[in-house]
Every structure is written in structure tokens, then in C-alpha cells.
Amino acid sequence: MPFQEGLFALIMGVLLLASEMSAAFGTFELFWRKNKESEIEKPLPLEEDFPHVDVFIATHNESADLLFNTINASTFMDYPDKSKVHIYVCDDGNRKEIAELAKSLNVNYLGLSENKDAKSGNLNHALSMSHSPLVVTFDSDMIPRHNFLMESVPYFLIPDYQKNNEGVWERISSEKRNDSEKVGFVQTPQTFITLIYFSLIYLLKPLFLMNKIFSLKKLMLCEIVLILQHTLVQTQCFLEER
């Protein structure tokens, strides 16, 4: 702490330390709660049971270059029948260049001339034109992994599947279907594209990879390390400026 730099510097230092400690505590609490919960096992559905999915990419005034990364990555998501994946660029800026970008990437474009109700109005407009049983929403700066749908969609099919005595997932009849196990919402972990993050992931890759996907608990441990490192860097920069 900058005890020798005056009252103002001391107050700013205390506030900075408190904010960083609060963020670190929140991460620890999230990890603790996650560690207490029992994980829901993901079924392995038959390929023909994967439903149609609408993918909404909401945008207002983001650049075409930024949107290209998100739209392009969305087109490469794995799925048994790619014709069941319907990608929509939801643009409440109603911009010609974004419509042309969507066309060049062979995805749908939903322009909205008014920004009524902001992002929620944009998504509600898209939902009014949706016909698929499942909907995915991405922000304009999100880049999904290629296995995003294959890792999330099966949870919605939990009521239709159960494991037999040999531990193999099998489809059950409609009479045995348990609607109390219906899943209405799935949220996946996300992270940010930063050099320090991917450098850490690369160095500790053997510890973080499990069945070719990231373990949520291990990712949160990584985030804790990054928060602590970020705190030290910010404190050092603050003292150097003083």
C-alpha cells in the first residue's frame, strides 16, 4: 500500500485492493458452490434425434470485421445434420454492409429498422420468426467452439434417454418419458481472448484438457490465477505512476 504517497493515494490504493479482493472472493465462492453441486450427466442421443436449432447473433453497431469472426465460427459448429442449424444475424441497426456480410457467409439476416427495447427487442423480433424448438443466442463478439452444439444440445434430450443395465444410453418410449427432467435453459462457461490467458492455457495444457474439452472447475482455477496476477500488475503500475 502507498502509505508514504499521501492520503489520496492511500484511499485509491485501499479502494483498488477492496475491488480486486471482492472479485477474487466472488470467484472463490462460485468455485465453492460449483464444487458442492452434483453434475448432470449428458446423454448420448441418436443422430436423428438432434432437433433443429436457431442461432441468433445479436448486433447493433458492431463492425463487420468483428461480426465476421462470430458468424464464421458459428458456421463451423459440429452437428449431425447441418441443415438443422439455422444461423440468423439479428441487426437492429438495419445496415446494408451487415446484410451483405450475412449473405456472403450464407446465413440469414434479420434487419430491424428501429432499436425499440434495445437488445431484448431485437431478440424478440427474431423469436417471432423462429420455428425451431431450440434457440442459441450469441453476442456479436462471441466465438463459439466447434463442439458447442454437441456439448449443449444433448441436455435438452435428457427426458428421452436413460442408461440401461450395461451403462449404455438408449432412447425410451414416450410412456416412460419423465417430463419432470425437462431442461429449459443451458448456460455454458465463457472466457476472453487475451494473450496472457492463452499463454497460461498453453503452458498448463496437460492439466486443463479432459476429453478434448475444458473442465469448468479447472477453468475457474485458471481464472483465479489470472485475477491474482492482474491484481499484482495493477498495483505495480499504480505505484510506478506515483
Phi, psi of 111 (to 5 degrees): -85, 145
Q: What is the pLDDT of residue 215?
A: 44
Answer whether 54's CB lies under 8 Å from 136's CB: yes
Cell numbers linked to 51: 432437433
User: What pLDDT digit, counting tens, does each position of 80-99 carry?
Assistant: 999 999 999 999 888 999 99
Distances (CA, A) of 143 to 21, 22, 71, 193, 236: 30, 28, 8, 9, 32
CA separation for the pair 137, 148 (Å, rounded): 12
Q: What is the pLDDT of residue 153?
A: 95
For the chain, which ranges sit under pLDDT 50? 208-219, 235, 238-239
Q: What is the pLDDT of residue 93?
A: 85
List Cβ<8 Å contacts ≥24 apart for 143-146. Answer: 143/69, 143/70, 143/73, 143/193, 144/70, 144/73, 144/74, 144/77, 145/77, 145/213, 146/73, 146/76, 146/77, 146/78
User: Which residues contact residue 180 at a Cβ distance below 8 angstroms, ignoring those fewer than 6 apart?
Assistant: none
